[in-house]
Structure 1
Amino acid sequence: MTRSCVVCDTPTKKTCTGCSRQSYCSHQCQAQDWIRHIIECDTPGREITTADRLAAAIFGNNEDWCYNEELNIDFGFWKAGSQTNTRMLGAVYIDLFREMGVKPRTVHKWRIEGRLYAEMLATYRKSGRDSGPNFDWLCEHPHVFDPKHQEIPETMRDISERAKLEAWRFIGGPESDTIQDLIKKSESWSQNKIMCFHFYVNMFIAGGPFVVVPEFWLAFGYCVFPDELALPARKLYKALVTKCSFDEFVVLSQSPELIAPIWYLKAWVLRQGDLPEPVILIPYGFANCRDRLELNHLMRFYCKLFKDQEISPLDLHSAAENDGIFDYLIKTLRLKIGKPERLFLERVLKTHNRFIFPKNADNETQWQYLHLIIHVFFFHHLFTTYLPGATLRLNLRWD
């Protein structure tokens, strides 16, 4: 059976000889992906270390270090003490593996020999990266890497409750109030006011929302910035909350929630998880995908466009509104893509209004069919979550 190479999407029949699950078109692609695949392969060829797991999480673009207790202990995450520090520590390791090219085996050796912190500092200096925020954070937190430092960190619940109380006092709540007092007093708040308060809490915990929490990332406009961190928005909101009262902020936030589908698309493909918002299934071609591989391929395609900042989201939205995404990408942007990719995009992006609904279907029938699509995607999500090695074909044409 022909599959797509997990690295470059080239059609191939070759698979990993160790497990026969991952598809590769060449030894080069397999070698490139080995740092991630080694922890999944049935025959890795050597003992898997926590450094391997950390590197695999980084190259797989996930945060598995948050859920592996042994990894948390070995590499200091359990001592980080806050979500912000955890993210900064993760950024340091991303620098180490991705940017500076240090191998997991080397990092494992450093840790075993008790010189992980010293070697990390030296590596930053040798690479000329010793002037950024990640290096500064590393210099300020040596205890995170000290095996003798046994301070028990706060749990996420402790951090959340502390941030809620900080936000409560910031907006004028009594210093003597406990978390139970806050819960009781906020019971009568509107949904919008509750959302604004949680936005404040998010700012106290991490300086603002990230795309992994799309509710705030979308509602407060972080999505419109090219960089998903949206640093200008963070600075603006930080200044705003110091110059207006909380009640004024709540009033300001009550503007009509007209979030265009393009921002839901951006949030979904950047975090690459959960189910998509129904409003993006048809306009952006996902309803035309035949199976899980095509769905993931189209998701990665959009993700690359957003991350490389090759598109104007509003222009893409306008093209989708006018059923012209393919022409916009190929003729206007003049993207350089191969023939297989071009044929794939032409099929999924140029036919979404042609075949997705039955002929002469009225609005009610179209909505019924859209609900069917949503249920299929929900089943697809469950299917691929619990049977990750399987393939589910999505036959979304009206027969």
Structure 2
Amino acid sequence: MSHPCAVCGSPSNKRCSGCSKISYCSAECQKEGWTTHVIECANPGRELTTADHLAAFVRMPRPPTNPEAIKDYGFTNTMMHDRQLAEVYDHLIQVLGVTAPKLNRWKNEGQLEEKIRETFEAAPLSRRGRASKFFIERGHRFLNPVLAKRDQAAYKRMRAMENYLLAVPDGLLCLDVPGTVASWPPEKQFIFECWTFFNLKTIPRPHEPAYLRLGYCAGQTEDEFDYIADLYDALSKECYVDELTAAYTSSSIIRLFEEKGLGPRLHRFSRLRDFIQILSRPYNKSFKGTVWELKASLMMRTTLEPEVGKDWGYHNCKDNSDTYQLSFSLSLLTMGDPTNSNLPGDPMGLMKAAAEGRLFDYAYETYELARKGKQLLRRLFVTEPNPYCREELGL
């Protein structure tokens, strides 16, 4: 019995020799898919390293979630540059042919920064890409213990300064910042904690509350995330914690941008429709089951709750290959294809299609995803209206 190839979707009778759970139609497809499958395979044939976890996750490109991989490859020090550092590793692996075992060897020998620099310098200019420029200018700092420690110290000083500045009422010195903040309502505490994101222009990670609640999840590209960070940085300079808390709890942050003279800048944001939809929701309304929760889950490669996952088709998955294909398709529909500007991703469009029970038709009509592996996607995609998306859209 044939199964769809995990990479291209073509029918195949060949399966992974390690776990027999995922299919490949050719050696080329197996080589392409192995980078992400190796960390899930029951019998990968060798001991896995943190470099394997790194390679699997930056393929998105996203920073890894494995704690040891985060530490080994510089992501503990990246602040707002984790996606760019992920792109450096992705470029090394996908374009310049650096393997996970080689990265692991460089790391163990204490030569990671040196070898990455040598690899970029040895590559033709046409193959270095923007990843090389970022690494030379900034990325190397994350792998240099001295510079990284200096960056961390600066970050801690800045955070302490911001905390004290924000906790000073009426010009009086607050000697117990933690105690003062703890006495505030939860909503004000949340906004206060977000002030560090605003002033440092950092991007909260998908698992952090601010990523969903303050609309960062509307971003798709590094430039769009940076644009949101710039908007909040500008807003934080025009208002105080109490004012932003009031706007947050009344779902009127968009109006606050306008009132503070930031309307023109706000309306230049390419994802304004999504940004408005998220910030107009009741602040205490759960994101459970929404397309925004789905997007965050896909970015982190976490598993949705079964009762939520079934409304996106995960209960139709018979094996890891099915799960991979469904997640890959939903990622394209939600976040687009970073290598193809004609496939930008449209979460709101996906949410509407899910609410109408038209996931397969939407994938076919909008992105032609169903042209390969049509039968598989027709089986996986749910045909019943998604109740969470219907509620979100007020249907």
TM-score, with structure 2 as normaliser: 0.66
Q: Tell me, yes or no, if structure 1 residue 315 matches structure 2 residue 349.
A: yes
The equivalent of 1:244 in structure 2 is: 239
The equivalent of 1:209 in structure 2 is: 204
Q: How does 1:39-118 map to 2 (within 5 A)?
A: 42=43, 44=45, 54-59=54-59, 63-64=63-64, 67-68=67-68, 72=71, 77=74, 81=77, 83-84=79-80, 88-104=84-100, 112=109, 114=111, 115-116=114-115, 118=117
In the superposition, relative to structure 1, how do residues 60 and 238 fare at CA in structure 2: closer, same or farther (>3 Å)? closer
TM-fit CA distance, 1:242: 0.9
Distance in 1, matches of 2:138 and 2:154, equals 20
Amino acid at match of 2:137: C
Distance in 1, matches of 2:185 and 2:162, equals 17
Within the candidate set 119, 136, 145, 1:138 is matched to 136
The equivalent of 1:367 in structure 2 is: none
Structure 1 residues not aligned, in runs of 5+: 357-399
What secondary structure is seen at the aligned counterpart in 1 of 2:237? helix
Structure with higher Rg: it is: 1
The equivalent of 1:16 in structure 2 is: 16
1:132-178: CA deviation from partner (whole Å, max 9, x where unpaired): 586245335656556xx66884999x899766534323425389767
Tell me if structure 1 keeps the 8 A contact 2:360–2:370: no
Distance in 1, matches of 2:110 and 2:211, equals 42
TM-fit CA distance, 1:303: 0.7
Tell me if structure 2 keeps the 8 A contact 1:269–1:303: yes
The equivalent of 1:333 in structure 2 is: 366
The equivalent of 1:30 in structure 2 is: 30
What secondary structure is seen at the aligned counterpart in 1 of 2:177? helix
What secondary structure is seen at the aligned counterpart in 2 of 1:24? coil
In the superposition, relative to structure 1, how do residues 321 and 234 fare at CA in structure 2: closer, same or farther (>3 Å)? same
Amino acid at match of 1:218: L
The equivalent of 1:271 in structure 2 is: 300
Within the candidate set 327, 330, 334, 1:306 is matched to 334
What secondary structure is seen at the aligned counterpart in 2 of 1:349? coil
Structure 2 residues not aligned, in runs of 5+: 252-280, 337-342, 388-395
Number of residue equivalences: 340
Distance in 2, matches of 1:206 and 1:123, equals 34
Tell me if structure 2 keeps the 8 A contact 1:288–1:352: no
Q: How does 1:116-135 map to 2 (within 5 A)?
A: 116=115, 118-123=117-122, 126-127=125-126, 129=128, 132=130, 135=133
After the TM superposition, which of the residue ranges 31-40 and 91-100 deviates more from structure 2? Answer: 31-40
In the superposition, relative to structure 1, how do residues 169 and 208 fare at CA in structure 2: closer, same or farther (>3 Å)? farther
Distance in 2, matches of 1:323 and 1:35, equals 33
Amino acid at match of 1:198: E
The equivalent of 1:381 in structure 2 is: none
TM-score, with structure 1 as normaliser: 0.65
The equivalent of 1:369 in structure 2 is: none
Amino acid at match of 1:341: K
Tell me if structure 2 keeps the 8 A contact 1:82–1:154: no
The equivalent of 1:219 in structure 2 is: 213
Tell me if structure 2 keeps the 8 A contact 1:3–1:23: yes
The equivalent of 1:169 in structure 2 is: 164
In the superposition, relative to structure 1, how do residues 160 and 68 fare at CA in structure 2: closer, same or farther (>3 Å)? same
Tell me if structure 1 keeps the 8 A contact 2:354–2:385: no
Amino acid at match of 1:210: R
In the superposition, relative to structure 1, how do residues 349 and 208 fare at CA in structure 2: closer, same or farther (>3 Å)? same
The equivalent of 1:262 in structure 2 is: 291
Distance in 2, matches of 1:280 and 1:5, equals 23
TM-fit CA distance, 1:236: 0.9
TM-fit CA distance, 1:252: 1.4
The equivalent of 1:390 in structure 2 is: none
Percent identity of equivalent pairs = 24
Amino acid at match of 2:177: L
Distance in 2, matches of 1:113 and 1:160, equals 25
TM-fit CA distance, 1:97: 2.0
Amino acid at match of 1:233: I
